[in-house]
Structure 1
Amino acid sequence: MTLTQLEIFSLVAELSGFTAAAHRLGISQSAVSHAIKSLEQELGVELLRRHQSTVELSDIGQQLLLRARAMLGLANTLRQEAADARGMKRGTLRIGSFGPTSSIKLLPDILRHYRAEHPGIEIHIDEGPDRQVIQWLEERRIDVGFVVLPQERFDTVALIEDQMVALLPADHPLATRNSVSLSELCDDPFVLTEAGSSEMVSRLFNAARLTPNIRYRRSQLLSTLDTVGRGDGLTVVAEGSLPEHVDYRHVKKPLSPPVARQVGLAVLDRRQASPATLAFIKLAERLSDR
């Protein structure tokens, strides 16, 4: 069993195909197939079920994939600790990010400083909904991820705090109020933004034993803003995810009672995090204290 075989296995599982993995790795499809077949023969189990145009993990394949990614993570940490002794001249950092708060307002400044301090570290960024970032962390697809706190299953550090706000059409009856309650947001069509803090919004309503009238599920904040601006619905979003100037078609109002949101960074286990990951966290903390 080699690390190369485990890397190929992990990538085939992620991309659900031998051809896609071969293209990503820059090797032939036959080389990918041979690596998987050799690994299966050595382990004595079928890791992947082949179909005409795709592959899927077997039950034991799903179990061993987590082990394989854990081993690859430790191997990456070993390499980076060696690189750290040489001044972190080489290494890889995989970051998970969600929504405008992390992808637009936090990450660019952190990356600018990080690249200046560690130009030899290769950085990969995956973007998805907040719950997807959590899944990527659990599956070890990323080294560090931006998350909405608290997240007790991970080692975390807080970076910023903002407020959840109601976003209303400018001509909505509630637009003249100083603040609005969750219960007042349940009658109108509701827009749930999947890219941002959708899990937190759902938990807020569930905790209050309320059910919003969800008519739209948007994958991007821009489409949410457009839906609200047209007067087709209202929503609850994090204030930090909004543009600096909400245009004339929208009105944002604090919730009553107020609801704070914390955004931070999470790793699966800080004791096993690579030097590149720890350096990223330390830098993000330093910049958030400015």
Structure 2
Amino acid sequence: MTLTQLEIFSQVAELRGFTAAATRLGISQSAVSHAIKSLEQELGVELFRRHQTLIEPSDIGRQLLLRARAMLGLANTLRQEAADARGMRRGTLRIGSFGPTSSMKLLPAILQRYRALHPGIEVHIDEGPDRQVIQWLDERRIDVGFVVLPEDRFDTFALMQDQMVAVLPTAHPLAAQASLSLKDLCNDPFVLTEAGSSELVSRLFNAARLTPNVRYRCSQLLSTLDVVSRGEAVTLVSEGSLPGGDNPRFVTRPLSPQVPRQIGLAVLDSRQASPATLAFIELARQSV
């Protein structure tokens, strides 16, 4: 068993295909097939279920995938610790990001400084909903992720805080009020954005024993704001995720009582984090 075989196994499982894995790794499809076949023969188990147009990990394959990613992560840490001794000239950093706050407002400035200081580190960024970033951390698909705090399962580092605000069509009757309660948002159709703090929004309503009338679910904040602008729904988002400048088609109102949202970085275990990961966290804390 080699690290190369484990990397190929991990990529095939993630991309659900031999051709896609070969393209990403820059090798031939036959090399991918050979590596998987050799690994299955060595372990004595079938790692994938083959379908006509798709493959997926078997039950034992999913179990071994977590171990393989852990081993690959440790191997990457070893390489980067060695690179750190040489001035961190080489290495890889995998970042998970969600929503406009982290992807558009925090990450660009941090990355600009990081690349200037560590040009030899290859940076990979995956974007998804906040709950997806948590899953990627659990599965060791990323080294560090932007998350909504608190997240007690991980080692976390606070970066910034903003407020949750209600977003209403400009002509909505509630727009005349200075602030709104969660209960006020349960009387109209509600649009839930999956791009940012959807888990936080759900927790807030559940804690208040309220049920919003969710009629829309949008994967992007811009789509959510468009639904509100058309007068079709109201929503609850973080103030920091909103685009700059006034928009005549919707208004924002603070909640009463106020609901803060804290954004930070998370890693599975800071003691096992690579030098490239720790350098990114330290730079992010300085930048923000």
Number of residue pairs the alignment of both structures matches: 288
Partner in structure 2 of residue 261 of structure 1: 261
Find the aligned partners of 2:209 and 2:118 in 1 and give their Cα distance.
48
2:103 is equivalent to residue 103 of structure 1: yes
Deviation track 1:175-214 (CA, whole Å, cap 9, x = no partner) reads 0111000001101010000001001001100000000000
What secondary structure is seen at the aligned counterpart in 2 of 1:270? coil
1:184 matched residue in structure 2: 184
Match of 2:24 in 1: 24
Alignment of 1:1-290 (within 5 A): 1-288=1-288
* Identity level (%): 80
4+ residue segments displaced more than 3 Å: none
Amino acid at match of 2:32: V
**1:222, 1:233 → 2: CA distance?**
14
- For 2:39 and 2:134, the matched residues in 1 are separated by 29
Secondary structure at the counterpart of residue 271 of structure 2:
helix
Q: Deviations over 1:236-277 (max 9, x none)?
A: 000000012240111100001110000000001101100000
SS of residue in 1 equivalent to 2:237: strand
For the residue of structure 1 that corresponds to 2:224, the secondary structure is helix
Paired letter, 1:132: Q
Give the structure-1-normalised TM-score: 0.98
Distance 2:186 2:22 in 1: 49
AA aligned to 2:116 is: A
- Cα distance in 2 between the residues matched to 1:152 and 1:8: 32
Alpha-carbon distance in 2 for matches of 1:181, 1:246:
23
How far, CA to CA, are the matches of 1:187 and 1:243 in structure 2?
26
Q: State the alpha-carbon separation in 1 of the partners of residues 16 and 251 from structure 2.
A: 44
SS of the residue corresponding to residue 232 of structure 2 reads: coil
- TM-score (ref. length: structure 2): 0.99
Structure 2: distance between partners of 1:205 and 1:56: 36
Residues in 2 aligned to 1:183 and 1:44: alpha-carbon distance in whole angstroms: 57
Residue identity opposite 2:286 in structure 1: R
**Structure 2 unaligned blocks of 5 or more:** none
Supply the distance in 2 between the matched residues of 1:230 and 1:132 (Cα, whole angstroms): 29
The range that moved more, 215-224 or 50-59, is 50-59
